[in-house]
Amino acid sequence: MLTHTLGFSRMGKNRELKRALEAYWKGDLDAAALAAEAQKLRVEHWGLQRQAGVDLPAVGDFSLYDHMLDMTALLGCVPERYGAVGDEVGLDAYFLMARGGKANGAGVPPMEMSKWFDTNYHYIVPEFSPGQTFSVKSGKIFAEIKEAQEAGLRLKAVLPGPFTYLYAGKPTVEGFDRFDLLDDLAEAYASILKRLAAQCDWIQMDEPVLALDLPEAYRNGRFAQIYKKLVEAAGPAKIMLATYFGSIAHNLKEIAETPAAGLHIDLARAPEQLDAVLSALPAHVVLSLGVVDGRNIWRVDADKALERIEKAANARGLDNLMLAPSCSLLHTPVDLETETGLSADVKSWMAFGAQKCRELRMLADAACGEDVSAWLAENRAAWESRRRSPALRRKDVRDRAAAIAPAMMERPKPYAERQKAQQERFGLPLLPTTTIGSFPQTGEIRTARRDFKNGDMDEAAYKNAMQQVIRDVVDRQETLGLDVLVHGEPERNDMVEYFGEQMDGFCFTRNGWVQSYGSRCVKPPVIYGDVSRPRPMTVEWSRYAQSLTQKPMKGMLTGPVTILCWSFVRDDQPRSETCRQIALAVRDEVADLEQAGLGMIQVDEPALREGAPLRKGDWSDYFRWAVDCFRLSANGAAAETQMHTHMCYSEFNEIVEWIAAMDADVISIEASRSRMELLDAFQRFAYPNEIGPGVYDIHSPRVPSVEEMLDLLRRAAKVIPKERLWVNPDCGLKTRGWEEATQSLKNMVQATELMRRESGA
């Protein structure tokens, strides 16, 4: 039974690629040195996979920025604004598309970035114009295959498939149907496959789009039709259709007719699809079982995996099976061996990329009747220790979760009454101004945090340093004339890590980096056990901040759904259960902040939307528990306490109903880039509570003018009654400098004053 990977990390054990890229962009490294570093990483990662026993590592998955952008280069689908690219998309044009810069003397913005399905990886969104043509403009994948062969590697080439590539893109002209391009696109793919066929036996075409509800243009035999062409073009090379991130059972009819030689399915995310696939798939098709979770850091449960493999083997025979991680290992860190700070127990429950490759080999050998008893015994022992660990099932946490009653999710009074009580308490002006929480994280702040963490600064000195920052931030907000203040979050490295570090049930890796976009990586916390909050996490800072001002200070928390979404979550119980435990911990923090005199508390849920399942049919289940968790965390507050929430990074039009169900008194929400269009949805739904649609984009250092923000406020006031409008930026200011932040907020306050005058206030 062959083992293969769908892709592997690009960054390297120590984020070598990140360093090389950033040095190149700064001009400290030349193109040849960058290429050499990239090659070194590829060869090292192939070696790692091969050593672990992977028969067919994927080649073509490596990227200097993003594999979808590589496909854009390969297809020559470069938007005109980046200038002529000739026969080969060079490094300059490539990074110009990825990062923006100067083309023909004028500044050009980068291409849009979007989340890759429901992962935290961001890809560069392809653009399609009417009359779009495609022609091969990159030799990258051909060269990488050659390089792999010279290294003596047996391999499988990998490309994003045409259906997924087209689906993931966007039209440049409104009303243009990009799916009309499918046949032309298939022609271009055919010529690429012809070339690849001369180099390799297997070609993996990634079509995760098959886990979604297919658009009309993709149904009724279109997969069969297009892939027939591609299979012909590939001649002797075999095509494997790779699906992942969900079940494909609802699209099996389309898939079964498709003449691909292989099909890969994700059995980590959707083990329940196995039966349907086994009965629908023609006997000659090689089935690749994604039994090892490619997106999480837990060790495989060997017995469970073997059960699935055996079932498939009984139905189809061993020869027609392959084993792989459920999806590309791009989404897991490289090597657990480098983790020295984890407890031995917890470490024994985990597997990173290299270890997952080893698991594949062992499982394949076990299925083929070879003796892997030592490995099996070790696997079982690790799982046994995990199951028995007291940290995983704490009676106090479980009892509390079992006692959650619906009333705990309801505020004590309906919104209309709360609003009155809060208005009396705070006496805010029309169109209150505020910010989202963080203020610029200067070098001094980072240094102080690091010194404290490393033990180079004692607690008293650290506390002093942070209080000084808070004082400064409060002063500045007073001077600007903002109505509702924040403490600025200087003590937080990251809005999830900060809380995870203070709760039981979490642990942190040293090197567990995964790519988020380009050279940017994140190191998600690991939730391994039952979650609880041993002591208050933010109260001291918030109480101090409130003591400095007569104005209301918002206590600032990260919501349970966001903490869940941005962590590696335990896989031995439903996510909803883990989320409820986090919600109870946040609830305690809300109560303590209230006790400490904070009259306003914000519970951020920027990730609420991105946690939604891929298929709409599954949404209501998810949103029901996710919104309940938010309500559990926030709605224990008294009627006079004003509860805020904040959302960004997403489209919210489709989920207004759920946002309303959260019943926050005030929501601040990203809206400036869509020019307040989002508010139409809030109007249509008659969103009942208060809203602060962001009036400026904090992602760029540009200072928006008073006029510009006034214009957005006027637009907002047309759709939302001004009595319920707040004024704030789109998101937190931590990545900005003080200069532009101050100027932007000054303009924001001025725009608000003009708007108040216009409204006769």
What are the residue numbers of the active site? 699
Which residue, 364 or 556, is less far from ligand GLN as judged by CB?
556
Span of 583-591, 617-625, 643-651, 684-692 interacting with Zn ion by CB under 5 A: 643-651
- Note whether 430 and 759 are within 8 A (CB): yes
Q: What is the nearest approach in angstroms of ligand GLN to the Cβ of residue 650?
A: 11
Residue 645 interacts, among Zn ion, ligand GLN, none and using kind-specific CB cut-offs from 5 to 8 Å, with none
Residue closer to Zn ion, measured from CB, 488 or 606: 606
Which whole-number Å values give the CA distances from 360 to 2, 51, 275, in the listed order? 9, 12, 21
Closer CB to ligand GLN, 649 or 685, in the complex: 649
User: Phi and psi at residue 301, in whole multiples of 5°?
Assistant: -85, 100
Piece of 83-91, 486-494, 501-509, 642-650 that binds Zn ion (CB under 5 A): 642-650
Cα angle for residues 599, 605, 607 (degrees, 5° grid): 170
Q: How far is the CB of 557 from ligand GLN (least distance, A)?
A: 9
Which range of residues in 62-70, 298-306, 452-460, 728-736 is near Zn ion by CB under 5 A? 728-736
Neighbours of 624 (CB within 10 A): 13
Instruction: Please answer whether residues 715 and 673 qualify as being in contact, where contact means their C-beta atoms are separated by less than 8 angstroms.
Output: no
Give contact residues for ligand GLN (rule: CB under 6 A).
436-438, 489, 495, 556, 604, 606, 646, 648, 731-732, 734
- The reply on whether position 210 binds Zn ion by CB under 5 A is no
CB of 435 to ligand GLN, least distance (A): 7
Partner from ligand GLN, Zn ion, none contacting 505, C-beta within 5 to 8 A by type: none
- Give 413's contacts (C-beta < 8 A, 6+ positions apart): 421, 639
Closest contact distance (angstroms) between CB of 606 and Zn ion is 5
Nearer CB in complex with ligand GLN: 552/606: 606
Nearer to ligand GLN, 350 or 643 (CB): 643
Half-sphere exposure of 300 (CA within 13 A, CB side): 32
Buried b (16+ CB within 10 A) or exposed e, 541-568: bbbbbbebeebbbbbbbbbbbbbbbbbb
Binding partner of 611, given ligand GLN, Zn ion, none, CB within 5-8 angstroms per partner class: none
Residue closest to 351 by CA, chosen among 368, 365, 333, 324? 333
Helix (H) or strand (E) holding 167: helix 162-168
**Which residue, 410 or 651, is less far from ligand GLN as judged by CB?**
651
By C-alpha distance, which of 295, 291, 327 is closest to 310?
291
HSE toward the beta carbon, residue 754, CA cutoff 13 A: 16
359/329 Cα distance (integer angstroms): 13
CB of 405 to ligand GLN, least distance (A): 30
Number of C-beta neighbours around residue 254 at 10 A: 20
247 binds, among ligand GLN, Zn ion, none (CB under 5 to 8 A by kind): none
Residue 608's binding partner among Zn ion, ligand GLN, none (Cβ under 5 to 8 angstroms by kind) is none
Piece in contact with Zn ion (CB under 5 A), picked from 148-156, 359-367, 628-636, 731-739: 731-739
Closest distance of CB 633 from Zn ion, Å: 17
Alpha helices in 27-110 (DSSP H): 31-52, 67-74, 91-99
Nearer to ligand GLN, 438 or 509 (CB): 438
CA distance 473 to 488: 6
Instruction: Give the residue with the Cβ less far from Zn ion, 520 or 684.
Output: 520
Nearer to Zn ion, 562 or 689 (CB): 562
Q: For residues 500 and 606, which CB has a smaller minimum distance to Zn ion in the complex?
A: 606
Stretch touching Zn ion by CB under 5 A, among 221-229, 307-315, 519-527, 641-649: 641-649
Query: Would you give the binding string for Zn ion spanning residues 684-723, x where CB under 5 A is met?
Result: ----------------------------------------
Considering the complex, state which of residue 614 and residue 731 has its C-beta at the smaller distance from ligand GLN: 731
Choose one: 30-38, 645-653, 683-691, 716-724; the region binding Zn ion (CB under 5 A).
Answer: 645-653
As a whole number of angstroms, the distance between CA 712 and CA 751 comes to 10
Q: How far apart are CB 495 and ligand GLN at their closest, in Å?
A: 5
**CB of residue 515 vs ligand GLN: minimum separation in angstroms?**
19
* Tokens describing residue 723: 């009595």
Any alpha helices (H) in 481-568, and if so which ranges? 497-500, 539-547, 560-565
The smaller minimum CB distance to Zn ion, of residues 379 and 441, is found at 441
Sign of the alpha-carbon dihedral angle for 677, 682, 683, 685: positive
Q: Which does 382 bind (CB under 5 to 8 A by kind): ligand GLN, Zn ion, none?
A: none
CB of 643 to Zn ion, least distance (A): 17
Pick one of ligand GLN, Zn ion, none as the site partner of residue 495 (Cβ within 5 to 8 A by kind): ligand GLN
CA angle 581, 586, 592 (to 5 degrees): 135
Q: Is 90 left (phi over 0), alpha (psi -120 to 50) or beta?
A: beta
Q: Checking DSSP bridges between strand 554-558 and strand 600-604, what pairing results, if any? A: parallel
For the bound state, the minimum distance from the C-beta of residue 165 to ligand GLN, rounded and expressed in Å, comes to: 29
x/- string (CB under 5 A) for Zn ion, residues 383-422? Answer: ----------------------------------------
Phi, psi of 5 (to 5 degrees): -120, 155
Pick from ligand GLN, Zn ion, none: which does 367 bind, CB < 5 to 8 A by kind?
A: none
Which does residue 631 bind out of ligand GLN, Zn ion, none, counting CB within 5 to 8 angstroms by kind?
Answer: none
Q: Which two tokens stand for residue 450?
A: 């690091």
DSSP type of residue 336: G
β-strand partners of 506? 527
Indicate which of ligand GLN, Zn ion, none lies near residue 734 (CB less than 5 to 8 Å, by partner kind): ligand GLN
Work out how close the CB of 668 gets to Zn ion at its nearest, in angstroms, rounded to a whole number: 8
- Would you say 165 or 439 has its CB closer to ligand GLN? 439
Q: Which residue is nearest to ligand GLN (CB)?
A: 732
List the single partner that 437 binds among Zn ion, ligand GLN, none, CB under 5 to 8 Å by kind.
Answer: ligand GLN
| Tokens representing residue 481 in the block | 């004339």
Nearest residue to 206 (alpha-carbon basis) of 159, 245, 256 = 159
* Continuous H helices in 368-412: 373-388, 395-402
Interface with Zn ion, residue 731, by CB under 5 A: yes
648 interacts with Zn ion by CB under 5 A = yes
Q: Shortest gap between Cβ of 534 and ligand GLN (angstroms)?
A: 23
* 563-622 binders of Zn ion (CB under 5 A): 606
Answer with the entry of ligand GLN, Zn ion, none that 626 interacts with (C-beta below 5 to 8 A by kind).
Answer: none
Alpha helices (H) in 431-574, listed in sequence order: 443-454, 459-480, 497-500, 539-547, 560-565
Distance of closest approach, residue 603 Cβ to Zn ion, in angstroms: 13
d(C-alpha 487, C-alpha 555), whole Å = 8
Helix orientation angle between 706-719 and 738-758, rounded to the nearest 10 degrees: 50
* Residue 438, contacted partner among ligand GLN, Zn ion, none, CB below 5-8 A by kind: ligand GLN
Nearest alpha carbon to residue 294 among 211, 358, 352, 367: 352
The separation between the first and the last C-alpha atoms of the chain, rounded to the nearest angstrom, is: 75
Near Zn ion in 305-324, by CB under 5 A: none
Quickly tell me which residue has 């090689």 as its tokens: 286
- List of residues contacting Zn ion (CB under 5 A): 606, 648, 731
